[in-house]
Amino acid sequence: ILPNSATIIEVGPRDGLQNEAKVVSTEHKLQFIESLQQAGVQEMELTSFVSPKWVPQMADAKDIMANVEKSGRQLVLTPNEKGINAALESGAQAVAVFVGVSNTFNKKNINKTTNESMEALKPLILQLKQDGVFVRACISTAFHCPFEGAIKPEDTLSLCRQFVDWGADELSVADTIGMATPVESYQLFSQLKEAFPDVLITAHFHDTRKMALANIFAALQAGVDRFDSSAGGLGGCPFAPGATGNVATEDVVNMLHQMGIETGIDLDRLCEAVQKIEPYVSNPVDTGMYRLYKNR
């Protein structure tokens, strides 16, 4: 039984642009964000407050927040107390934290083991919830790790359990390097939906092996109706070798609409947003719906 509507969480301005070889200017990022809002995107990761030494592409997080049009749920990604404080000072009302199920990946991404990250995050999340801030927990390497291989579903579930116990509003569960299959997607998301009925469950698929749309369909069948995606299929984590972009928002929106599932997003205007950012990213955008849009 499929839902009548689904929510897209656009991550292009963050996951998409954090991995770009050349840094995109603040002005072009802001134009991209604005055109995504105009296409009807209601939830978006705008930027991340991370170390500019680690991810120079996101060094302008403060300027993005100061100049962005306020609309819908605007998320910013933060790894630690410094990032959370900077995000709140910038006016963010929704914060995304991130941690890897795999220790090796977490070390490479955040320079801490998974447990060290969780110990540091616990008091921060409890405080954020006391202050009424929306908390999204991004779970990296939930299926596979580029260093450790297959991840046990019970390890992903127990990490998620901790975030839920601390009051997180949303779990965004990620196939960081695009290795999950539809069977794994269906199984893990079924377990998550059953274990955490009161929390928003979101699926975050990278499309490295072109299985993301199939994985989304499998997650839909497991009851998931929230999907992270990136306009133009931009994206990837600089610390996850072999990871390419997120599944393309235009292809997800098209698939959902064709199946009678509403998203509130206008496909043509979404492609206009892709067209705005395309000149400033390193590779030509080559997603199914964008190609059709340009050739028509």
The phi, psi pair for 9, rounded to 5°, reads -105, 110
Beta bridge pairs of residue 100: 140
In angstroms, the CA 217 to CA 185 distance is: 9
Contact 224, 5 (CB under 8 A): no
Overall residue count recorded for the chain in this entry: 296
Local structure of residue 15 (DSSP, 8 states): I
Q: 164 vs 261, which CB is nearer to ligand HMG?
A: 164
Quote the least distance from Cβ 64 to ligand HMG, whole Å: 13
Over the window 241 to 270, marking each residue x when it contacts ligand HMG by CB under 6 A and - when it does not, the resulting string is ------------------------------
Using rule CB under 5 A, residue 15 touches Mg ion? yes
| 176 contributes a contact to ligand HMG by CB under 6 A | yes
Residue 95 CB, shortest distance to ligand HMG, in Å, is 11
Site string for ligand HMG, 131-160 (x = CB under 6 A): -------x-x--------------------
Sign of CA dihedral 247, 90, 280, 79: negative
Query: What's the burial of 266, exposed, middle or buried (CB within 10 Å: 0-12/13-18/19+)?
Result: middle
CB of 295 to ligand HMG, least distance (A): 30
Q: In 39-169, where does DSSP find H-type helix?
A: 61-67, 81-89, 103-110, 114-130, 153-165
> Of 54 and 217, which CB lies nearer to ligand HMG in the complex structure?
54
Q: Which of 138, 145, 237, 271 is catalytic?
A: 237
Contact pattern from residue 72 through residue 111 relative to ligand HMG, giving x for each residue in contact according to CB under 6 A and a dash for the rest:
-------xx-xx--x-----------x----------xxx
| Whole-number CA gyration radius for the chain | 17
CB atoms within 10 A of CB 180: 29
Q: Give the binding-site size for Mg ion (rule: CB under 5 A).
A: 1
Residue 271 known to be catalytic? no
Stretch that binds Mg ion, among 10-18, 56-64, 151-159, 186-194 (CB under 5 A): 10-18
- CA pair distance 148, 102, nearest whole angstrom: 7
Q: What percent of the residues of the chain are helix, what percent strand, and what percent coil, each to the nearest 5?
A: 45, 20, 35
* Residue 175 makes contact with Mg ion by CB under 5 A: no
For Mg ion, give the closer residue by CB, 15 or 250: 15
Binding interface with ligand HMG (CB under 6 A) = 15, 18, 48-51, 53-55, 79-80, 82-83, 86, 98, 109-111, 138, 140, 174, 176, 204, 206, 237, 239
Chain residues that interact with Mg ion, rule: CB under 5 A: 15
* Catalytically active residues, by annotation: 237
